[in-house]
């Protein structure tokens, strides 16, 4: 057997392993998309990837299907590689046999590891779906599943660190366990906080998180005055433009920067303002989560609350943060 064929099979195994992980993630994404949850990107990670979803699933059943899709895909791929290994054995090709044996085994490991019932691993999502169905509360279900996720993470950390000091453990554990464990602990914490945040904000009407005192400019103000009397005086990076109580656009720091300085005296706000995107307009029946997710999705620093075209308030990350800090017990509740 030549060195070249060894290298060739090493490259093939790496590519097929990478393809296996991708297939696992794509099957999550496919089911998520079918359930109407947009998946914006897929991050490949040490032990499989993570399909990043923009929102929570709508029902326990959706979550269950989405979560189980990945491990099922891994088992299916393992079966295919197992078949390939059998074929390689029949033809007496030992190098291919070793490669396919490794590939079916690693895909089974991937499926088993991901099925550990700690959120946000796939198994933890399946577990959460079950608890959600049982308790009827996504928040409580996430709390329990995330605690299990953290507990499992700590076990991995203990095994990883333990393997440094207690050699017999090295037979199956390494310091990598500690890294993966740490990743799991923090992922479980973050996912739980994300769920609680959504659950909390979705119950808060926009009126509670908005600032009703909106500073607006009129379209006839000169750009020079806009800078000195508005941008330099208030810590906002954009202002709504208002005419007779109605918002007709927004003007942001970038719009001012795009204009040569010598023209600041000559031009007015109406010349540089932009129309207000519909995504940045909320109504009084929207909730604080709508506001937060709109800002995140459109990378905007503020959204406006209107009532019949009249502006009634402005919401920024700061006004939401202020609400959360004065209602400090929001993070502790588990129901
Ligand atoms: Zn998965």
Residue 188 Cα to ligand 1 middle (Å): 15
Same domain, 214 and 314: yes
CB of 329 closer than 8 Å to CB of 301: no
Q: How far is the CA of 67 from the centre of ligand 1 (A)?
A: 6
| 192 and 251 co-located in one domain | no
> Do 176 and 85 fall within a single domain?
no
Please check whether residues 284 and 301 belong to one and the same domain.
yes
Centre of ligand 1 to C-alpha 201, Å, is: 28
Neighbours of ion ligand 1 (CB under 5 A): 70, 114, 122
Omega cis (within 30) before 120: yes
Question: Are 185 and 241 contained in the same domain?
Answer: no
Distance 71 CA to ligand 1 centre (A): 6
Ligand 1 centre distance from Cα of residue 115 (Å): 8
* β-pair partners for 42: 51
Distance 73 CA to ligand 1 centre (A): 9
Q: What is the mean pLDDT of the chain?
A: 85
Q: What is the CA(25)–ligand 1 centre distance, in A?
A: 6
Instruction: Tell me, yes or no, whether 192 and 306 share the same domain.
Output: no
Question: Where does a domain end: 201, 221, 236?
Answer: 201
Q: Same structural domain for residues 182 and 210? A: no
pLDDT classification of 46: cutoffs 50, 70, 90: very low
Give the model's pLDDT for residue 38: 66
Please report which confidence band the pLDDT of residue 153 belongs to, taking 50, 70 and 90 as the band edges.
Answer: very high
Confidence of residue 328 (pLDDT cuts 50, 70, 90): low
Instruction: Assess whether 170 and 72 both reside in one domain.
Output: no
Kindly report, residue by residue over 264-319, the tens digit of the pLDDT: 999 999 999 988 888 888 888 889 988 888 887 777 888 889 887 778 888 988 88
Are residues 155 and 174 located together in one domain of the fold?
yes
111 in the same domain as 12: yes
| Domain termination site, one of 178, 201, 224 | 201
Domain count, the chain: 3
Enclosing domain of residue 66? 1-115
C-alpha distances out from residue 266 to 220, 239, 248, 271, 275, Å? 11, 20, 21, 10, 21
């Amino acid at each position: 057997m030549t060195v070249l064929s060894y290298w060739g099979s090493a490259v093939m195994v790496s590519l097929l392993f990478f393809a296996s992980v991708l297939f696992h993630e794509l099957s999550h994404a496919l089911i998520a998309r079918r359930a109407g949850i947009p998946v914006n990107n897929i991050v490949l990670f040490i032990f499989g990837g993570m399909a990043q979803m923009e929102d929570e699933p709508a029902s326990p059943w959706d979550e269950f299907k989405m979560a189980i899709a990945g491990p099922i895909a891994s088992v299916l791929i393992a079966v295919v590689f197992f078949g390939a290994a059998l074929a390689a054995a029949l033809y007496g090709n030992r190098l291919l046999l070793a490669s396919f044996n490794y590939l079916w085994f690693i895909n089974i490991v991937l499926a088993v590891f991901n099925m550990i019932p700690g959120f946000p691993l796939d198994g933890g999502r399946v577990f959460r779906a079950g608890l959600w169905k049982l308790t009827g509360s996504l928040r409580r279900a996430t709390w329990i599943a995330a605690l299990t996720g953290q507990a499992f993470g700590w076990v991995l950390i203990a095994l990883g660190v333990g393997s440094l000091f207690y050699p017999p453990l090295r037979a199956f554990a390494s310091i990598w366990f500690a890294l993966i464990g740490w990743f799991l602990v923090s992922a479980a914490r973050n996912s739980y906080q994300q769920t609680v945040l959504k659950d909390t904000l979705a119950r808060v009407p926009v009126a509670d998180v908005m600032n009703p005192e909106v500073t607006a400019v009129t379209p006839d103000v000169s750009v020079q005055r806009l800078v000195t009397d508005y941008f330099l005086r208030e810590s906002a990076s954009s202002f709504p433009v208002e005419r007779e109580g109605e918002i007709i656009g927004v003007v942001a720091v970038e719009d001012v920067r795009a204009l040569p300085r010598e023209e600041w005296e000559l031009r007015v706000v109406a010349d540089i303002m932009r129309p207000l995107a519909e995504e940045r307009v909320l109504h009084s029946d929207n909730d604080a989560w709508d506001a937060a997710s709109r800002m995140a999705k459109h990378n905007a620093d503020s959204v406006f609350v209107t009532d019949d075209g009249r502006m009634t308030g402005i919401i920024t990350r700061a006004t939401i943060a202020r609400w959360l800090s004065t209602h400090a017990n929001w993070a502790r509740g588990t129901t």
